[in-house]
């Protein structure tokens, strides 16, 4: 292990998001005497499998496993992270958000959480509960997990993209290490996650519970606090996943044909179709964003302004342009300077109408 190396490890399937993530990483201050490395994994069979491959490839003592849609805007992030690890050799993992206690349902977001984060809307989320800067937790959220020891990720039981984070937190506990959240009020890390795909989540929850049931708090937190658990919701989503995914595919394929045909009346039909099935379509990040893009195009044409999709020929290109526009606006909001600000200003002035800018900015 190289005690003076920090590796960023990222599973990726979206170059636009990855490039922006790497841009923010490039701006971080590197602690004196340290080197950084970035390992990206494309087409991983699962999060655990991807992370294991990268972990075994890197000699770095300090590894930061993070999502491609996480943007670290705190330039002192690495310096502060090392301070946490150096405060106690017993700390195995550090996260940004976590649950001090996980009950038998294993639903992290139904439990009290600690930590700080900025959301896709650039809102600062303070989860409260500040007994100190370093808080011991049962588990941390997988958006960012930093370690100073290597433990195998459980790709033998978790073959998807859910519960890898909670599982790895518990694996560190099994080895006697502390899992903590660095709870500092002015954390500046953005998770630009949008609408999450939760249709396979229930399957992996049940597998996790079976494997770690002896480590879960047997007390039902929701019940003892007079609250209802969301278990039935997740079971319903899993049971109806094929139906929902079929609707999403139909909507996406339809919009792809609309974009290729550039028929103004079809944008209006797409909006009506999605509105009629809003309770379903709101669960797809792609459909939600395509719906907003269609609204933008309609409004632009009303005002005879530059068409957001004028240089776009497919759903993928439309989604990429929407994401790039969000990222450029985000740079302005965050006050980036130098070439990164110039790039954002130039892109937004030349590629995006006033209407598109305003409508996308309003959703951030």
- The reported pLDDT for the residue numbered 78 is 96
Determine the average pLDDT of the residues in 324-349: 95
DSSP tag of 101: -
The residue out of 170, 197, 224 marking a domain boundary is 224
Question: Based on the domain organization, do 262 and 162 belong to the same domain?
Answer: no
In the prediction, which pLDDT does 182 show? 85
Number of structural domains found in the chain: 2
Residue 190 has pLDDT above 70, yes or no: yes
pLDDT, position 121: 65
In a domain, 23, yes or no: yes
At 117, the pLDDT band (50, 70, 90 cuts) reads confident
Residue 127, pLDDT > 90, answer no
User: Do 81 and 47 belong together in one domain?
Assistant: yes
Domain of 178, in residue numbers: 2-224
Question: What φ, ψ does residue 310 adopt, rounded to 5°?
Answer: -65, -30
Q: What average pLDDT does the segment 28-37 reach?
A: 97
Q: Could you give the 3-state DSSP secondary structure of residue 46?
A: coil
Residue found under tokens 């690890």: 85
Closest CA to 12 of 42, 38, 55, 39: 42
Q: Are residues 326 and 211 in the same domain?
A: no
Please, which residues have CB within 8 angstroms of residue 275's CB and are 6 or more apart in sequence?
none
Q: What sections of 264-337 are H helices per DSSP? A: 264-276, 278-281, 285-302, 315-334
**Beta-carbon contacts of residue 185 (< 8 Å; ≥ 6 apart):** 116, 126, 130
- Using the predicted structure, report yes or no on whether residue 199 has a pLDDT greater than 80: yes
Identify the bridge partners of residue 35 per DSSP, sorted by sequence position.
5
Burial of 239 (0-12, 13-18, 19+ CB in 10 A): exposed
Q: Please state the pTM of the whole predicted model.
A: 0.94
Q: Based on the domain organization, do 266 and 219 belong to the same domain?
A: no
For tokens 């959240």, name the residue. Answer: 181
Q: What value does the mean pLDDT of the chain take?
A: 93
Same domain? 284 vs 209: no
140/210 same-domain check: yes
* Of 164, 169, 191, nearest in space to 180 by CA: 169
Q: Are residues 51 and 187 in the same domain?
A: yes
pLDDT class of 188 with cuts at 50, 70, 90: confident
Q: Which pLDDT band, with edges at 50, 70 and 90, does 38 fall under?
A: very high
- The Cα-based distances of 362 to 20, 126, 242, 356 in angstroms read 21, 22, 33, 10
């Amino acid at each position: 292990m190289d005690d003076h190396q920090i590796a960023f490890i990222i599973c990726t399937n979206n170059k636009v998001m990855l490039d922006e993530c790497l841009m923010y990483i490039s701006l971080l201050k590197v602690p004196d005497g340290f080197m950084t490395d970035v390992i990206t994994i494309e087409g991983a069979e699962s999060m655990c499998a991807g992370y294991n491959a990268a972990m075994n490839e890197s000699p770095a003592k300090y590894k930061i496993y993070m999502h491609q849609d996480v943007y670290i805007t705190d330039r002192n992030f690495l310096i502060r992270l090392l301070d946490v690890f150096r405060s106690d050799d017993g700390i195995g993992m550090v996260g940004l958000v976590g649950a001090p206690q996980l009950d038998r349902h294993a639903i992290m977001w139904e439990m009290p959480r600690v930590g700080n984060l900025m959301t896709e809307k650039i809102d600062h989320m303070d989860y409260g509960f500040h007994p100190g800067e370093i808080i011991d937790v049962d588990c941390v959220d997988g958006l960012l997990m930093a370690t100073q020891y290597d433990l195998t990720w459980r790709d033998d039981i978790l073959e998807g993209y859910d519960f890898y984070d909670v599982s790895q937190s518990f694996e560190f506990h099994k080895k006697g290490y502390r899992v903590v959240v660095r709870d500092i009020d002015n954390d500046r890390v953005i998770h630009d996650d949008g609408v999450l795909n939760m249709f396979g989540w229930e399957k992996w929850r049940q597998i996790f519970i079976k494997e770690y049931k002896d480590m879960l708090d047997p007390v039902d937190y929701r019940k003892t606090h007079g609250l209802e658990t969301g278990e039935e919701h997740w079971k319903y989503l899993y049971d109806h996943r094929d139906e929902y995914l079929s609707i999403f595919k139909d909507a996406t394929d339809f919009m792809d044909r609309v974009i290729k045909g550039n028929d103004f009346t079809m944008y209006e039909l797409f909006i009506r179709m999605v509105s009629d099935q809003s309770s379903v379509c709101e669960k797809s990040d792609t459909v939600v964003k395509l719906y907003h893009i269609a609204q933008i195009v309609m409004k632009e044409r009303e005002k005879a302004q530059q068409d957001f999709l004028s240089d776009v020929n497919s759903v993928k290109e439309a989604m990429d342009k929407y994401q790039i526009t969000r990222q450029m606006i985000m740079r302005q909001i965050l006050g980036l300077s130098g070439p990164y600000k110039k790039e954002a200003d130039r892109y937004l002035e030349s590629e995006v109408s006033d209407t598109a800018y305003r409508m996308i900015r309003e959703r951030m």
